[in-house]
Chains A and B, each alone.
Chain A
Amino acid sequence: MRFSRTLSALLFLASIGLIVFDRPDVRPQVFSVFRATVVDLASPMLALAGDPLRRIRNVGPYFRNQAALADENARLRQELNEARYWRDLAFRLRDQVEVYEEALNLDAPVARERVGAWVIADPQGPFVRSRLIGAGENRGVQAGHPVLNVYGLVGRVVETGRRSSRVLLLTDLNSRVPVMADRSNARAVLAGDNTPFPVMEYIGREADLIDGDRIVTSGDDGVLPRGLPVGQAIRDRHGRWRVQLFSDLAPVDFVWVFPYERVPPPEQDRDALTFEPLRLESPAPVVQAEPAPQPQSVVEEDEEES
């Protein structure tokens, strides 16, 4: 069976054209809309296909972990007791913060309800580490919103459709998140490199980091809020600091999207910062300086004398 060579050549050219123009940094709006529409159309089928897997996901661990249940139960009870202490502390601190905010007349942004969503697709491609979740613009999800699972930050939303969104994972090559050590506030940028342990960059030579430091978002870029749990600092065999992600402690199947209003950079408020020219209601009297006497040249005086 032979097909038109012209059509095949055109399709090759179309593929190359798509590759050239569909890069994240220069992606035209029409491509973004097309991608979001395709994912939206596929999302019900993806949810349907993933449902049986979701139902049987605990079957394996159930049989594997029967022997360890008693130990796990004891450990969970201990953790629950500790968690009660931290909950009470959190309530007290929240009350204090409210009082301080009121005293200082701070206009803190109101925290909006988090949006829960199932992961409907786990597309395994070598080029992008992402997940598709079953919540989109219809539930207030927007690009840039942080996404967390039970244990910590998973990534952030990069594309939104009407019913679905794509989450770029922290491990992706294009992921950059400003973070800090909870203990010392040592700053870094968490950069994905397609390995399970993203690397910490721009930390300086004398960074105050130790193995096991709890790493949280620093909020320095204004894109993500401060204090979201990310992971633990570890050193690799080359001496570089990496982060063992908290979110990897459990399968990323159900996530929460936190609608966070990005802090606008000053450039966007430039219009608001333009100043009207200063106008005084009663203009100050202007002192008219008398004209300075013109010096008479010696030549003129000589002519008059003569």
Chain B
Amino acid sequence: MRTPIDRRPPYWTIALSVFVTLAALIFHATPARITGGPDLMPLLPLMSIFLWASLRPRFMPPIAIFAIGVAQDVLTGGPMGVWALAYLTAMAILRDRKEDSPVREVLPLWLRFSGVLAISVVVAWVVGSLAVGALAPVRSLLIEAVSTALMFPLVAMLVLRGRAPRTGIL
């Protein structure tokens, strides 16, 4: 049974979700290209934001999304506010759907994530191009988006598997 203490604002869990997403951001910024590997790095911060917001919406408030977006802008060296605005827009559209219970299956999650990803990338490209004063290259953004969409089911499966209720005798 839910007790009043459960309804308190979960500050430490919000901090945990932000920390996990920032860790994803740090990993996103690691110098992967020094290994001579391909120039592919999925948008891990968006995956983390989406999964937290879909499965535990309380733990990913807009202020946290804003902070993560600004951190990404600063670490990538771009103008501050671009990714923050892109993430806020995409997640606002996602949350405006007024659904009763969060989706817990991979395929519907993947479809929704693809929509969120598309909105984020388009907003980031338009706003970023305006901020920089020139058209940003589409190719690298597309590669990033496709690699993110392809990698998402794997991450989603791992997360949903970790959250599945334990069944059976043991």
Contact = CB atoms under 8 A, between A and B. Distances in A.
Contacts of A61: 36
A14 B65 CA distance: 13
In the A-B complex, the 5 residue pairs with the closest CB atoms: A18-B81, A125-B76, A122-B31, A1-B57, A15-B85
Interface stretch (A45-53, A77-85, A225-233): A45-53
A210 interface: no
A31 interface: yes
Interface string B6-29: 000000000000000000001111
Given A57-B36, A128-B76, A17 B141 contact: no
Contacts of B77: 123, 125, 127-128, 130, 159, 166, 168
Contacts, number: 164
Contact of A49 (B30, B62, B63, B128): B30
A121 interface: yes
Nearest to A122: B31
Nearest to B83: A125
B75 A19 contact: no
Interface stretch (B66-74, B107-115, B161-169): B66-74
Interface in B69-127: 69-71, 73-82, 84-85, 88-89, 92, 95, 124-125, 127
Given A7-B63, A15-B85, A127-B76, A173 B134 contact: yes
Given A53-B35, A126-B136, A251-B36, A35 B26 contact: no
B30 A122 contact: yes
A141 interface: no
B85 A16 contact: yes
B128 A126 contact: yes
Contact of A35 (B31, B36, B74): B74
B34 interface: yes
Contact of B81 (A16, A34, A166): A16
A56 to B, nearest CB: 7
A194 interface: yes
Contact of A17 (B57, B61, B81, B130): B81
A125 B78 contact: yes
B31 A126 contact: no
